Structure 1
Amino acid sequence: MLLQILLDIILPIFVLIGFGALMQRAFRLDLYTLAKINFYYITPAAVFMSMYQAEMSPSLLGTVALFYAVYVFILYLISAAVSKPLGFKRGMKAAFTNSLILDNSGNYGLPINDLVFKGDPLAASVQALIMSFQSLLTFTYGTISVQSAKAEGFGKQALIGFLKMPVPYCLVLGLVLHALNVPLPEFVSKPLLYIDHSLVAVALLTLGAQIVKYPLQLTRLEVYYSVLIRLLIAPAIGLCLVLLLGLKGIPAQALLIASGMPTGVNTSILAEEYNNEPDFAAQTVLVSTLLNIVTITGLITLAKHFA
């Protein structure tokens, strides 16, 4: 089973990431444009279609929200517990916390979900919700934490940043149209499906181009603390929550796998934008993504037991 998961799910993911890395090396791709295509074009369409085709009851939606809130809160407490004895300064503490709570549920998690569950609408809906919560967290706490020294006018900036995100609007619109059973005309549904089907290839190419930008360094001990918590402790928390909430089937599997994503690229983007430990952030993204080959394979295998 492990070999099959590695060959059928994990290897295709990293082949596409590898293509992105090679293209970045050869052509110096415009990462700003690629990020915008993913964020404002492909991901919103994918989220909308996931919600529109969703098979998620209101009670399950509430359970996913509860799972995510508790999951992030526990990781935050762990970050605080680790940061204090290590003597992290304010900026490093913010970067360390972001590396734990901001994972790559978008351009890595969505393709993983799509390949594991073969496009199952319920599984895709769960992952889309997690990604939307991640986007909200990124533009609220994630941004606040690295810009806390610039308090003047910051609340307005954070609010504007959140209001500019297309994903939450698409999520709500998809849920509303699904609840009202509103049929989509062909000239709307077909383009959205075409965009949705490009998600895996374009998102992973972008990820490969992003992570190859940073040279691999193995000298920062705090990077290993972050990666250990992100790849091992975080999914253990996810497993405990799945059991405590009594989840089974596809929701349990999707949430468990979602809890084991590597550190999100947004962590590095925020660190660069505000010049807050950018080297540490870049290394956590790169190292956690590479090591995730092993951990996500084991997690997918474990998730099969919740079928």
Structure 2
Amino acid sequence: MTILFDVILPVFIIIGFGSLAAWRRIFSELAVDGLMRFAQSFAVPVLLFANVARLDMAGNFNPGMWIAFYSGAFASYFIGWSLALFRLKRSPEDAVAIGFCCLFSNSLLLGIPIMERAYGAEAIAGNVAIIALHSPLLYTFGITMMEVARARGQSLAPGRIALRALSGVLHTPLIIGILCGAAMNLLMQAGLVMPEGFWAAVDMMARAALPAALFGLGGVLYRYRPEGDGKAIALCCVASLLIHPAITWTLGQLFQLPAPPLRSAVITASMAPGVNAYLFASIYDAAKRVAASTVLVSTVLSILSIWFWIWLLP
């Protein structure tokens, strides 16, 4: 019970506070959208910039951790995609959007604060290493799969699909923050020293990121109502909350990962799909109701999955 009350509950209290404010109309939808735009387009990219810039690349380079996490993620995608397409008889575009819900963990807005509260600020280095690949890799994959699905029956132009996927990824603020952080990391290793005032400003912005994002996430989740598409929603919840962390944990045991990277990989894998899963579905107008309801239902259910994995891990 200590894990629930000391680690998990504070994060979800902030989310619940945001939902309550939106429900009682103390915080308007326009205000929620503005807060989320600030968090996702400015504060969170600065947070990623700061963490990647200061990340010990060599010390946190662990191929086994990445393989364990992303093998679970892609296995979840193909399970969700294939069942949606062949069992639930959804359209190819819907199947890709449903698969993306199974694929994309809320590694940042939930993963970082949960990990920090559970194991300390120094424990998030592995999470940052995962996040450095998370959005670029998974968005590129998702956009590519959707473009292939939309081009069915037509002559495929691999170059056009690849260019559209790359363009979509490089215009994402989170990716820009990660890339700028990586460039700063290399420059600092080469001897560049930034003034203390610069890092003070970066840290002030970064500290605002998670509280703002969690509160805004609560407001966004209030809009979503779980309705219809029960089988597809259940499929996404099972794949993201059960299959992904189970595969990651199993591979982590096979690779004999040390405790810190194992924790980072499994805890991140146990997170619910983030709002980005809904945004992806919305961009392509595919399975939006499934994605919206999955984000809400799985975020609530993730309290139990996170609790279990924190209890199990060393």
State the TM bucket, normalised to the shorter chain. 0.7 to 0.9
Conserved? CA contact 1:102–1:267, under 8 Å: yes
8 Å CA contact retained: 1:43, 1:199: yes
**Whole-Å Cα distance in 1 between the matches of residues 301 and 74 of structure 2?**
24
Match of 1:16 in 2: 14
Is 1:87 matched up with 2:89?
yes
Q: How does 1:133-282 map to 2 (within 5 A)?
A: 133-147=133-147, 148-149=149-150, 154-165=161-172, 166-177=176-187, 179-180=189-190, 182-217=192-227, 220-282=230-292
Indicate if the aligned counterparts of 1:13 and 1:112 stay in contact, CA closer than 8 A: yes
Aligned match for 1:109, one of 103, 106, 111:
111
Moved more, 223-232 or 144-153: 144-153
Contact 1:146 1:270 (8 Å CA) reproduced: no
What is the aligned partner in structure 1 of residue 36 from structure 2?
35
Equivalent residues of 1:51, 1:178 under 8 A apart: no
Aligned pair partner of 2:120 in 118, 121, 130: 118
For structure 1, list consecutive stretches of 5 or more residues without a partner in the other structure: none
Partners of 1:220 and 1:297 lie apart in 2 by 25
1:239-287 CA distances to partner (integer Å, 9 max, x unpaired)? 0121122111211111111110101211111212221111011011111
2:4 aligns with one of 3, 6, 13: 6
Which residue in the other structure is 1:74 paired with?
A: 75
In the alignment, structure 1 residue 290 sits paired with structure 2 residue 292: no
C-alpha contact 1:102 1:142 (8 A) present in aligned 2: no
- Give the Cα separation in 1 of the matches to 2:180 and 2:66: 17
Is the CA contact (8 Å cut-off) linking 2:80 and 2:235 kept in structure 1?
no
Kindly indicate whether the alpha-carbon contact (under 8 Å) linking 1:76 and 1:101 is maintained by their aligned counterparts in 2.
yes
Aligned residues: 300
Measure, in 1, the Cα distance between the counterparts of 2:76 and 2:91.
19
What are the Cα deviations for residues 22-66 of structure 1, in whole angstroms up to 9, with x where unaligned? 232312243443333222322222222222333452672434433
In the alignment, the residues of structure 2 paired with residue 88 and residue 246 of structure 1 have an alpha-carbon distance, to the nearest angstrom, of 39
Q: Per-residue deviation at 1:219? A: 5.6
TM-score, with length taken from structure 2? 0.86
Distance 1:57 1:67 in 2: 19
Contact 1:256 1:299 in 2 (8 A): yes
Q: What amino acid does structure 2 have at the position aligned with 1:267?
A: A
1:56–1:125 contact (8 Å) kept in structure 2:
no
* 1:238–1:259 contact (8 Å) kept in structure 2: yes
Question: Aligned equivalents of 1:139 and 1:219: distance in 2?
Answer: 24
Mapped to 2, the partners of 1:249 and 1:183 lie a distance apart of 33
Match of 1:129 in 2: 129
The code of the aligned residue for 1:159 comes to L
Cα distance in structure 1, aligned partners of 2:55 and 2:292: 35
Aligned 8 A contact 2:49 2:178 in 1: no
Amino acid at match of 1:284: T
Q: 1:244 to 1:235 in 2, by over 3 A?
A: same
The question of whether the paired residues in 1 share the 8 Å contact of 2:14 and 2:214 is answered with: yes
Equivalent residues of 2:73, 2:244 under 8 A apart? no
